[in-house]
Structure 1
Amino acid sequence: MSKTKQKLDQNTIHRVLKLIRPYTGMVILTLTLALITVVTTLLAPVLSGKAVDMILGPGQVDFAGLGKIAIAMAATIACTALAQWLMNVVNNRITFQVVRDMRVRAFGQLEILPLKYMDAHRPGDAISRITTDVEQFSDGLLMGFTQLFTGMLTILGTLGVMLFIDWRIALVVVALTPLSIFVARFIATHTYSMFKVQSETRAEMTSLVEELVGNEHLVRAFGYERRAEERFDKINLDLQKCGVKATFFSSTTNPCTRFVNALVYAAVGVLGAFVAIAGGITVGQLSVFLNYANQYTKPFNDISDVMTELQNALACAQRVFDLIDETPIVPDGPDAVALPHGAGSVEFDHVRFRYVDDVPLIEDMNLKVAPGQRIALVGPTGCGKTTLVNLLMRFYEINGGTLRVDGYSIDNVTRDSLRGNLGMVLQETWLKAGTIAENIAYGKPDATREEIIAAAKKAHAHSFICRLPNGYDTQVAEDGGNISQGQRQLLCIARVMLRRPPILILDEATSSIDTRTEVLVQDAFEELMKGRTSFIVAHRLSTIKNADQILVMKAGNIIERGTHEELLAQGGFYKQLYESQFAKA
């Protein structure tokens, strides 16, 4: 095992122990119960050995003594069973509380990660870490938490009693012990990396399945089924290969350690027989030794199995910790203030931004938007229109310059208050699983039913909502799968209309609506935009003729600005774009 990997394992174990620390009281209780279990388990062979010594031959049986031993054996077994049951109950509680804490931390980390993390990682990978990897960690922790401690106590206890009865036979057992230790260590060191690869491949499969199921209509529309099956088969084959390797190595634990156990048992039996013949120990003590030989070697089997499970658990835990350790978004500063609902002025002052450090995008953006102005952003795909919106919403941090809203630098205000001043309707709609009313009130949970209905009417969504089986209480499937794309867009528009923020961002907001409904929605937007600053990202130039200022962007720069008539008069890039949309056949 390399030093780096060993250090990584130690760090993971240390962090797992930190997660367990709040439940120290329950840990002490379960360890106490484990100690009681070990003591009572060690007592049973001693009682059985005494019982054997009371049977000297035909007619020479001490039945009175056997009766007392039988009662003691029954009490010992009952105590062992009760202690084991209580230990499992407490252990389960510890495990599931630790797993709950880990999931809460991982999900909380997802909420504060910058969008660039989600851009660089597939959603299925994060889902796999929070669900599958945490579950695998739970299984390993549940199995290994007390078995490791119980196994160590059993080994030490049986060894101590055997040394007390006859040190010579005990030394034979000790001499063969390193074989079991070597087998357990060898298997553990070879399974960690295999289980880690297995977890990563499993995450890759989760991502693929989510991608294909979530976009099934596109898969079918473009005849992608066969290629999807090929991709799935490849990942499935990789998962099979690494799974078989990991399972093969882990499954060699039991037969290998059982072989060592058989050697120990045979050695104890042969040497103990000679010692008993010589009068060194009684037959009952020999039976105790044989029982202890089994009890002494069995924990090595358990510990080997536990080590295998723990290696898998640690590999999964490390993936979860990697997610938790990702650099979060820059937190609001200690002196950050809440941005009040103002007039809605916006200023870009020498703003610089790059998604990738060595790929230039926005190098020197200067823009002043007065309260109530309508600013249209046009240009070819990838020119930076949506990037401006992302910077304004503070989804990404600017690399230089200053971006102000109502005179406040957005770096000096809280994100929640900033986004509370902004209302966004995107080209891609998103609805949560819930009722129509809950989706409209997503940004204002305390809205009354009257406010929700009023917003829906302004968005021209009220009529179609009333035609649904349960009206505003109709359940929407995840991502709105049971209503049309245009209806989903109307609900997203109603969601913004309910909040009535001072600044609006409309990113192709009417792209999925039919022409007749678009006219109605445009009228609603006209009313909504009165007195409000509006940023309109549009590809259809006919929708932005009435904008106060049109910004023509190319390669992250504003190359032209002005009204629709002014830009047409200039005869530049905007005129080419406009004529390309309305050119005669």
Structure 2
Amino acid sequence: MSTTESAKAAVTEAGERPTAERQKNTGNATSGPGRWMAGGAPPEKALDFKGSLKRLLQLLRPQRAALIGVLVLGAASVTLTVIGPKILGHATDLILAGVLGKQVPPGVTKEQIVAGLRARGDSTLADIYSRVDLVPGVGIDFDAVGRILLIVLALFVVSSFFGLIQARLTTNLVQQAVYRLRQEVEDKFARLPLKYFDRQPRGEVLSRVTNDIDNLAQSLQQTLSQIVSSLLTVVGVLIMMFLISPLLAVIVLLTVPASAILAAKIGKRAQPNFIKQWSTTGKLNAHVEEMYTGHSLVKVFGRREESAAIFDKQNETLYQASFRAQFISGMIQPAMMFIGNLSYVLVAVIGALRVASGNLTLGEVQAFIQYSRQFSQPVTQIASMANLLQSGVASAERVFALLDAEEQAPEPASPERPAVVRGRVEFQDVSFRYLPDKPLIDDLSLTVEPGQTVAIVGPTGAGKTTLVNLLMRFYELDGGRITLDGVDIAKMNREELRDQTGMVLQDAWLFGGTIAENIAYGADDPSREEIVEAAKATHVDRFVRTLPDGYETVLDDEGGTVSAGEKQLITVARAFLAKPVILILDEATSSVDTRTEVLIQRAMNSLRSGRTSFVIAHRLSTIRDADVILVMEHGRIVEQGDHETLLHSGGAYARLYAAQFAEAMAETD
């Protein structure tokens, strides 16, 4: 049985849980607008940014080779890009040398010119001439300048090619990591106990699996490659700046601490708003999903305005959180640009003074100014990506919280199994409670022989559905044990146990697909003949033949193209095809008309033949032929016996039967 079916099996249990548990599952509001919420998101907690980021990066470890490739290609691309300004600076020096050389008469040496300028007291111009490699009487060497420009162009083309390959590798790296993360989430669902889904709104869980993982993928995709390139650029540019002028490099570095402190301050204020943004998104999704699923009830009870008011309130909360998160984090980039511009002005002024003093050439200053811009640009980019990174880490933590949720008890290392599965079930001093201080079932003992039909009746909250859920190991016992043909089910593999069991629930669950596919869900790769045979045995074939597409009629996930009774018959056919040893029928006829109930009863009689069956029913008329009828109150079996014996005893069963008979007479009158 799938995890989805397991979750569906517990839907009907909501009425049997203690009031405190139900209130806990539905938030604090049991009336007014809050009653339309299926539950609230888990309480917000402080984000462990560093821990979550480290764990997020660990997702990339299985693809170390690709990650190394990204780093190597990034380093190669950055190296070629960083060399460019230095070579362009040499071209500028060639142009300046040509301009100055053209103005000097041939035959005069550079040393003579410098000496003459110093003799005239023009030391600044003399320093400039001393740094220029000019040839008197010779103008600009355009061939040399052209060769330099071609070299730079080739460097930039190769750098862009490396960057393109790096981007492709990064995309593959990120998507593979997210693919594995989705698989981990899917595997986690199979290990989560049913109580996790009881306490989580479905929309909230869906939001973590869809919105949060998509946001995480987008954040990684946009930031990983850019951060790698930016960090490598910062390192490469720093090296080149120190090679040109250590003094100017130190001036540029003085702005880094100010930038880092400013970015940290702003980021710290933005992070709580990102947490609130995604947690509110989960709550809003839960509300929308619930309102869409129950839109008929919302309209019938006139709660549309109430529902819309809840939506507006949550939408406003989401808007405010998103606005503050994006606005505050968006302040990082202009603040960094301001500091970068200050650094640019300082470099230009001091660089000009260094050229005038003859310590640097004009080309070196030009290259350094380019490097200062290249240095500030990646720093600004890293800071501007803080909002994406913070948003991604906030989503990652919500996904990690799902992955870290408490799991059901692990399967036994050496699972036991009955030698022959005949269907003998025994409850031995079984105790169970949903809440530690609210006992539900205490010291319950029961023996069911193979092939017997056991009917379980009692008021709402008596523990009827809980009993069969314990048999299916949807929940673990607090005390005692349950055996199947002498083997403790706690020592059996859950899948093997559930393979022996078929369930027909009060809520007929159908998935989006054809009628044939829905019936075939109960068995592994059945033939078309087996599907039709199961349909005929359970009276499904009767109405399927009247549909235009027959067994290929497509149902939506709510089964809207067939009636409630026909949906129920399809689920009975599904159980019939599975050929279970143990059959559980949980209020399977409670929501259908009398004529359809007769058909379902006939189908279930065929299904129960030769099988150990547990039948939960409120309509006592449907269980008269049960071998044993159990009457439960407050988690205990207060009576048991067949229909006639219990009626004559005048106990709880007789009172229930009389009450239903009186109700039926009142409806007739």
- TM-score, normalised to structure 1, is 0.96
Question: 1:49-80 CA distances to partner (integer Å, 9 max, x unpaired)?
Answer: 11211223386322011110111011011012
How do 1:122-271 residues align onto structure 2 when only pairs under 5 Å count? 122-271=201-350
Please say if 1:441 is aligned against 2:520.
yes
| Partner residue in 2 for 1:284 | 363
Contact preservation (8 Å) 2:540, 2:569? yes
Query: Aligned residue for 1:578?
Result: 657
- Could you say if the C-alpha distance between residues 521 and 340 of structure 1 is closer, same or farther in structure 2, counting changes exceeding 3 Å? farther
Q: Provide closer, same or farther for how the CA distance between residues 176 and 526 of structure 1 changes in structure 2, counting only shifts above 3 A.
A: closer
**Structure 1: distance between partners of 2:199 and 2:278:** 19
Shift of 1:339: 4.4
Q: Is residue 418–residue 486 contact of structure 2 (8 Å, CA) maintained in 1?
A: no
Q: Which of residues 45, 48, 71 is equivalent to 2:88?
A: 48
Q: Which moved more, 1:382-391 or 1:324-333?
A: 324-333
Contact 1:250–1:305 (Cα < 8 Å) also in 2: yes
Aligned twin of 1:323: 402
Structure 1 match to 2:532:
453
**CA displacement, residues 296-318 of structure 1 (integer Å, 9 cap, x when unaligned):** 11111111123332222111111
Stretch deviating more after TM superposition (54-63 or 109-118)? 54-63
- Among 554, 564, 568, the alignment partner of 2:643 is 564
Q: Give the letter for the 1:12 counterpart.
A: S
Task: Tell me how far 1:356 sits from its aligned partner.
Answer: 1.0
1:381 is aligned to 2:460: yes
Which has the higher Rg, Structure 1 or Structure 2?
Answer: 2
CA distance in 2, matches of 1:304, 1:277: 36
CA separation in 2, counterparts of 1:250 and 1:121?
31
Asked if 2 retains the 8 angstrom alpha-carbon contact of 1:339 and 1:413, the reply is no
Gaps of 5+ in 1: none
Map of 2:58 onto structure 1: 18
CA contact (8 A) 2:538 2:606 kept: no
* Matching residue of 1:478: 557
Task: For residue 341 of structure 2, give the secondary structure of its aligned residue in structure 1.
Answer: helix
Matched, 1:62 2:102: no
Deviation of 1:122 after TM superposition, in Å, equals 0.9
Deviation at 1:511, TM superposition (A): 2.2
The equivalent residue for 2:423 is 344
Structure 1 runs (4+) greater than 4 angstroms displaced: none
- What SS class does the counterpart of residue 428 from structure 1 fall into? coil
Counterpart residue number, 2:477: 398
- The one-letter code matched in structure 2 to 1:127 is L
How many residue pairs end up in the alignment?
A: 581
Query: Equivalents in 2 of 1:306, 1:297: separation in Å?
Result: 14
1:30 aligns with 2:70: yes
Question: How far apart, in 1, do the equivalents of 2:152 and 2:411 lie?
Answer: 66
CA contact (8 A) 2:273 2:324 kept: yes
CA RMSD in angstroms, aligned pairs only: 1.6
Tell me whether 48-57 or 250-259 shows the greater mean CA deviation. 48-57
Give the stretch that moved more between structures: 343-352 or 525-534: 525-534
Is residue 2:469 matched to residue 1:429?
A: no
Show the counterpart of 1:554.
633
- Checking the alignment, whether the CA contact within 8 Å between 2:71 and 2:228 is kept in structure 1 is yes
Give the CA deviation at 1:553.
0.9
The whole-number CA distance in structure 2 between the counterparts of 1:306 and 1:574 is: 69
What per-residue deviation string (whole Å, max 9, x for no partner) do you get for residues 471-520 of structure 1? 11222112322222111111000011112212111111122333223223
Q: Does the 8 Å CA contact 1:180/1:257 hold for their aligned counterparts?
A: yes
Distance 2:82 2:306 in 1: 61
The 2-side partners of 1:529 and 1:392 are apart by: 18
State the distance in 2 between where 1:218 and 1:111 align. 32
**AA paired with 2:565?**
G
Query: How far apart are the structure 1 equivalents of 2:276 and 2:225?
Result: 27
Deviation, structure 1 residue 340: 5.7
- Which of 469, 493, 499 is the equivalent residue of 1:414? 493
Question: Which of 74, 77, 94 in structure 1 is aligned with 2:156?
Answer: 77
Structure 1 position 5, deviation (Å): 5.8
Matching of residue 492 in structure 1 with residue 577 in structure 2: no
Deviates more, 1:431-440 or 1:470-479: 470-479
Tell whether the 8 Å contact from 1:489 to 1:512 is kept in structure 2 after alignment. no
Residues 90, 363 of structure 2: 8 Å contact kept: yes
Instruction: Give the Å deviation of 1:434.
Output: 1.4
| C-alpha distance after superposition, 1:14-62 (max 9, x if no partner) | 3223221110001011101111121111112112211211223386322
Deviates more, 1:210-219 or 1:249-258: 210-219
Q: Partners in 1 of 2:543 and 2:419 — Cα distance?
A: 36
State how far apart, in whole Å, the 2-side matches of 1:449 and 1:528 are: 19
Percentage of pairs with the same residue? 41
Partner of 1:333: 412
Counterparts of 1:171 and 1:345, CA distance in 2: 83
Distance 2:245 2:530 in 1: 87
The whole-number CA distance in structure 1 between the counterparts of 2:141 and 2:441 is 97
User: Residue in 1 aligned with 2:35?
Assistant: none
Which deviates the most, 474-483 or 121-130? Answer: 474-483
Q: Report the 3-state secondary structure (helix = DSSP H, G, I; strand = E; otherwise coil) of the residue aligned with 2:59.
A: helix
State the Cα distance separating 1:412 from its structure 2 match.
1.5
Structure 1 residue 530, shift from structure 2 partner: 2.4
Structure 2 residue 547 is the aligned partner of structure 1 residue 468: yes
Structure 2 segments unaligned to the other structure (5+ residues): 1-44, 103-138
C-alpha distance in 1 between matches for 2:233 and 2:603: 77
Measured in 2, the distance between the counterparts of 1:49 and 1:201 equals 54
Q: Which amino acid aligns with 2:372?
A: A
Structure 2 residue 193 is the aligned partner of structure 1 residue 114: yes
Question: Partner residue of 1:9?
Answer: 49
Read off the aligned partner of 1:511 and give its amino acid letter: S
Q: Which amino acid aligns with 1:498?
A: L
* 8 Å CA contact retained: 1:431, 1:479: yes
Give the conservation status (yes or no) of the 8 Å contact 2:417–2:487: no
Q: CA deviation at 1:442?
A: 0.5
Deviation of residue 343 (structure 1)?
Answer: 2.1
Q: Secondary structure at the match of 1:287?
A: helix
3-state secondary structure, aligned to 2:476: coil
Q: Distance in 2 between matches of 1:50 and 1:246?
A: 46
Q: Once the 2 structures are TM-superposed, how far is the Cα of residue 281 of structure 1 from its aligned partner?
A: 1.1
Alpha-carbon distance in structure 1 between the residues aligned to 2:586 and 2:568: 12
Post-superposition Cα deviations, 1:174-232, rounded to whole Å, max 9, x if no partner, equal 22221111122222222222211111111111111111112222222222211110111
User: How far does residue 146 in structure 1 lie from its aligned partner after superposition?
Assistant: 2.8
Q: Which amino acid aligns with 2:521?
A: Y
Contact 1:339–1:418, Cα closer than 8 Å, also in 2: no
8 Å contact from structure 1 (residues 340, 417) kept in 2:
no
Stretch moving more, 403-412 or 153-162: 153-162
Moved more, 512-521 or 480-489: 512-521
CA shift at 1:525, angstroms? 2.2
